[in-house]
Structure 1
């Protein structure tokens, strides 16, 4: 018996290393539409196939419909399809709650090394704690614990940031904003202040706010797995502004004293 298009769609999902829900989201399809078709081995509507081809144009429509011909247009391998013009994608793994709302997955500091290895593994992601937060809608969000002092004083050690997934790195990474950069090439923490030179020089400049101790890094996009724009900062250790005021007052007093000393010195014969 000839296989159906839905079986070849399953193959695409495997090639793209996506969960079924992430694939549906990437194609703009309703929740569980592909999941239901897979279970029932039902035929796909023309508009569904068109949505898949719009989201993944490298796949040969003839192959999807009939199983004939090459799987990929011009025989481009799916693993090699990322290029200078389309860095970024849909998150590989998305978890949802009982109401089919996207969860905010927390990546604590102790899990960050594992996240870099298991970011595309649904079993790993599903083991991480999840949350819902007010005011964060219309996007895919993930929470990361800040590790170290590379972003101090903007982001203290052991605070948290919530990032919104960045799909198009070339267009959507804005200069001097904060991003979570998931890459095994980042040496001192996930969160960086970025300068986007992907289109011009094919690299992303990642700066620490604590630049006296942590040097600026340059990353090639091929070394980056995910990018999340920081939208929210959670800090449970609220700083005492009195310390800052006292330092400013002390400095002001010292300046006044120095001025008086200089003034008196000028009056001496």
Structure 2
């Protein structure tokens, strides 16, 4: 019978692969001998020294390593507020626009002012956008149908932390490798939240709180789809029919 590989061995391998290192390169970084192959195969236990190096060099959470936490990394800050904002010529904060093609590089450039300055930005002179920081993100895919159509834009207000986020509201969730537009639902554990698609064909995503870099609560959208949907068209037709019926009844009453 094949030996079952323990959780810490699987996650140790995951860290190495995420870093793009070979077994020998990873062993050199951790001063773990000639190779880490035996650890990944479950034949050798991870020593306290290696756990310490994983924490010191890469902020790997020891509790996550052994399967006791959702948070892969120990973050130095739990703030999900934007790290950079841009201003217009009148010293008003811009609303930066993040199109689909820029989403892939957004998380890795959260501290790069030059990168932000390349993105389009604008200002909306409405009271709804006067307090707080706002950002616009383009919707990718159909996971939020029927409320959000592909390629529409959502405008979100910056949220300071997951703890202060409004439950069951649509948010833009930025992690190290993705920008997701989902309904955020808090769980019993403070270490994780559930990200829910309105399109039921998509599964619920369990997201570690410590991996969320930015959080924006969606309060409006920009749409270029002005077609009347079939359901709305039917409701309009029904309303017109009822209005016509009311007028006929009024006419009958007047004539009697």
What TM bracket, shorter-length normalisation? 0.5 to 0.7
**Is 1:234 matched with 2:222?**
yes
Q: Distance in 2 between matches of 1:110 and 1:127?
A: 13
Distance 1:156 1:226, change over 3 A: same
Q: Distance in 2 between matches of 1:217 and 1:244?
A: 31
Equivalences, count? 167
Offset at residue 185 of structure 1 (A): 5.5
Runs of 4+ with deviation above 3 angstroms? 79-83, 241-249
Normalised by the length of structure 1, the TM-score is 0.56
Q: Is this contact kept in 1: 2:80–2:212, CA < 8 A? A: no
Offset at residue 82 of structure 1 (A): 4.2
Offset at residue 234 of structure 1 (A): 1.0
Describe the SS at the equivalent of 1:98: coil
Describe the SS at the equivalent of 2:130: coil
Cα RMSD, aligned residues only: 2.8
Q: 1:164 aligns with which of 145, 153, 157?
A: 157
Q: Distance in 1 between matches of 2:134 and 2:91?
A: 15
Which position in structure 2 is the counterpart of 1:117?
A: 108
Offset at residue 166 of structure 1 (A): 0.4
Normalised by the length of structure 2, the TM-score is 0.58
Q: 2:204 aligns with which of 178, 199, 216?
A: 216
Q: 1:87 aligns with which of 71, 78, 90?
A: 78
5+ unaligned residues in a row in structure 1: which ranges? Answer: 1-78, 250-269
Q: 1:190 aligns with which of 177, 180, 198?
A: 180
Which position in structure 1 is the counterpart of 2:140?
A: 147
Distance 1:244 1:89, change over 3 A: closer
Describe the SS at the equivalent of 1:237: coil
Deviations 1:25-82 (A, max 9, x none): xxxxxxxxxxxxxxxxxxxxxxxxxxxxxxxxxxxxxxxxxxxxxxxxxxxxxx8984
Offset at residue 243 of structure 1 (A): 5.1
Distance 1:241 1:223, change over 3 A: same
**Is 1:205 matched with 2:198?**
no
Q: Is this contact kept in 2: 1:185–1:223, CA < 8 A? A: no
Q: Distance in 2 between matches of 1:242 and 1:216?
A: 28
**Is 1:180 matched with 2:145?**
no
Q: Is this contact kept in 2: 1:185–1:219, CA < 8 A? A: no
Offset at residue 132 of structure 1 (A): 0.5
Q: 1:97 aligns with which of 88, 109, 134?
A: 88
Q: Indicate the structure whose relative CO is greater, using CA pairs within 8 Å and at least 6 residues apart.
A: 2
**Is 1:127 matched with 2:118?**
yes
Q: Is this contact kept in 1: 2:174–2:212, CA < 8 A? A: yes
